[in-house]
């Protein structure tokens, strides 16, 4: 080996050693949250049998959703009282979304603005329409979601009791007879939207907002739900509210569910938006959150920072694998890299423990052990998504196209 290649390998080893120490932090955070989550709570309504006097407005932002809208509206309507309102914001629609919503008895707001597009703008439009006669609680439900029984009542009462935003359990299911890849997506969703929020809730009484199935007291909705085209407006909103002293609460006993799209191409587009949104929020909001945490320590901010420091797990797995390979090679020229190699191997072990515990407690019915062992291939499938983030990241909201 000539001097040039030795120096190059040494430099790569040094960079990888630094990366090993950096990569250990998400592993520690993921392990703490997973262990704190424990086993799933039994689904038991917190407001069963309680008379509700809370006035609720349910906002349903919808862009060309006429095909999928009816089941959502029927589900919501069954849970509303006479003093509640169901408002569909038909946002830049080219189909009959507005007519479908009207036929179901919902109030419809039609918004046409070709330049200011996105869910945040639609929600702000809906909130503005409520200012003349504000409700006690504003609840956001996406146009393709189904709520569990009593979810509206439970989340509204919990929101009033805590005077904080509340996020119910948001799950996506693989369609019937789906292949292992889609079921792997469902498992990844369970880890991100169930295991980690449950852990952060039990550890610090806080979680990130997820965009649908979330409720805000009117004073927060009126002040914070401003027009924005941010690709992950929900996570940003949750961080802002936590910094303001009103951290989002997790209500795992109520659920909102939807299905992954059948098309692989559509699924990849959807995942690109989510992953790019996660990485963008991590880049923009984590420094701000850590800065506030240093000045004003608190459990709520701490657990939100712990969750936000964890990158998408497929990306994390790829980074761990690449760093491990480089450090193994670097150890052939110097034992000085052995400590860094041990650290990254421990990070790998911690991630495996987290994935194994989450699968055993929450998703053993979903994937076989053999299918779970194929997780690295799932990570490789997502590699183009992360490369696209470096080259041409998604910076604004885009609707997920679905086929009937």
What was the pLDDT predicted at 118? 77
Domains in the chain: how many in total?
Answer: 1
Prediction pTM value: 0.87
What was the pLDDT predicted at 3? 47
**Phi and psi based region of residue 164 (left: phi greater than 0; alpha: psi -120 to 50; beta: remaining):** beta
User: Tens digits of per-residue pLDDT, 309-336?
Assistant: 998 888 888 889 888 888 888 788 777 7
Burial status of residue 285 (CB atoms within 10 A of its CB: 0-12, 13-18, 19 or more) = buried
385 falls within a domain: no
Q: Which of 270, 362, 350 lies closest to 310 in space, CA to CA?
A: 350
Contact status, residue 362 vs residue 190, Cβ threshold 8 Å: yes
Residue 107's CB is within 10 A of a number of other CB atoms, namely: 14
Contact status, residue 201 vs residue 245, Cβ threshold 8 Å: no
User: Tens digits of per-residue pLDDT, 2-25?
Assistant: 544 555 556 555 666 777 788 899
Helices assigned H by DSSP within 165-210: 180-190, 196-204
Q: In the numeric block, which tokens belong to residue 152?
A: 């509206």
241 falls within a domain: yes
354 falls within a domain: no
Spatial distance between the Cα atoms of 125 and 131, rounded to a whole number of angstroms? 11
Expressed as residue numbers, the domain containing 273 is 150-306
Question: What is the full DSSP assignment across 59-89?
Answer: EEEESS-HHHHHHHHHHHHTT--TT-EEEEE
318 falls within a domain: no
Spatial distance between the Cα atoms of 162 and 23, rounded to a whole number of angstroms? 36
132 falls within a domain: no
How far CA 96 is from CA of 45, 65, 108, 144, 210, in Å, comes to 36, 8, 12, 15, 27
Contact status, residue 166 vs residue 59, Cβ threshold 8 Å: no
User: What is the DSSP pairing of strand 56-62 with strand 85-91?
Assistant: parallel
Q: In the numeric block, which tokens belong to residue 315?
A: 């990306």
Q: In the numeric block, which tokens belong to residue 362?
A: 């929450």
Helices assigned H by DSSP within 217-263: 218-224, 233-243
What was the pLDDT predicted at 4? 46
179 falls within a domain: yes
Residue 10 CB contacts under 8 Å (≥ 6 apart), including other chains: 330, 333, 334
How far CA 87 is from CA of 110, 241, 249, 374, in Å, comes to 10, 24, 24, 43
Contact status, residue 171 vs residue 255, Cβ threshold 8 Å: yes
279 falls within a domain: yes
What was the pLDDT predicted at 15? 66
Tens digit of pLDDT at every position of the chain (404 positions): 454 455 555 655 566 677 778 889 999 999 999 999 998 876 656 555 445 689 999 999 988 887 889 999 999 999 999 899 999 998 888 888 888 899 888 999 988 887 777 788 889 999 999 999 999 999 999 989 999 999 999 999 999 999 999 999 999 998 888 888 889 889 999 999 999 999 999 999 999 999 899 999 999 999 986 666 666 678 888 999 999 999 999 999 999 999 887 655 555 566 666 666 777 778 888 899 999 999 999 999 999 999 999 988 888 888 898 888 888 887 887 777 788 889 999 999 999 999 999 999 999 999 999 999 888 877 776 766 666 666 655 444 455 555 54
Residue 30 CB contacts under 8 Å (≥ 6 apart), including other chains: 196, 310, 350, 351, 354
43 falls within a domain: no
Contact status, residue 114 vs residue 133, Cβ threshold 8 Å: no
Element (H, E) at 259: strand 249-259
What was the pLDDT predicted at 161? 94
Contact status, residue 170 vs residue 196, Cβ threshold 8 Å: no
Spatial distance between the Cα atoms of 203 and 191, rounded to a whole number of angstroms? 16
């Amino acid at each position: 080996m000539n001097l040039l290649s030795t120096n190059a390998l040494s430099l790569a080893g040094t960079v990888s050693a630094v990366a090993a120490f950096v990569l250990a932090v998400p592993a520690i955070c993921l392990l703490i949250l997973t262990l704190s989550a424990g086993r799933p709570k039994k689904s038991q309504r917190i407001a069963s049998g309680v008379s509700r006097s809370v006035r609720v407005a349910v906002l349903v932002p919808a862009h060309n959703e006429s095909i999928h809208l009816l089941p959502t509206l029927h589900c919501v309507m069954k849970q509303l009282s006479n003093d509640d309102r169901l408002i569909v914001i038909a946002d830049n629609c080219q189909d009959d979304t507005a007519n479908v919503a009207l036929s179901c008895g919902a109030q419809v707001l039609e918004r046409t603005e070709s330049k200011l597009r996105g869910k945040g703008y639609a929600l702000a439009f809906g909130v503005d329409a409520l200012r003349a006669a504000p409700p006690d609680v504003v609840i956001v439900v996406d146009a393709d979601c189904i709520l569990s029984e009593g979810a509206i009542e439970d989340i509204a009462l919990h929101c009033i009791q805590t005077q904080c935003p509340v996020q119910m359990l948001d799950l996506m299911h693989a369609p019937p007879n789906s292949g292992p890849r889609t079921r792997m997506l469902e498992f990844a969703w369970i880890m991100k939207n169930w295991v980690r929020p449950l852990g952060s809730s039990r550890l610090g009484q806080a979680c990130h907002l997820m965009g649908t199935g979330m409720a805000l007291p009117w004073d927060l909705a009126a002040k914070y739900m401003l027009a924005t085209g941010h690709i992950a407006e929900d996570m940003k909103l949750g961080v802002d509210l936590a910094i303001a002293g009103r951290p989002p609460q997790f209500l795992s006993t109520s659920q909102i569910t939807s299905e992954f799209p059948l098309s692989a191409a559509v699924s990849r587009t959807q995942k690109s938006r989510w992953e790019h949104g996660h990485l963008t929020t991590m880049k923009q909001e984590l420094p701000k959150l850590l800065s506030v945490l240093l000045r004003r320590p608190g459990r709520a901010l701490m657990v939100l920072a712990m969750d936000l420091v964890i990158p998408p797990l497929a990306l994390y797995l790829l980074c761990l694998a690449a760093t491990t390979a480089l450090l193994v090679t670097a150890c052939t020229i110097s034992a000085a890299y052995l400590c860094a190699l041990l650290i990254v191997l421990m990070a790998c072990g911690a991630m495996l423990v987290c994935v194994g515990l989450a699968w055993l407690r929450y998703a053993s019915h979903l994937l076989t052990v053999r299918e779970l062992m194929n997780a690295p291939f799932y990570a490789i499938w997502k590699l183009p998504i992360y490369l696209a983030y470096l080259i041409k990241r998604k910076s604004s909201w885009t609707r997920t196209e679905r086929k009937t």
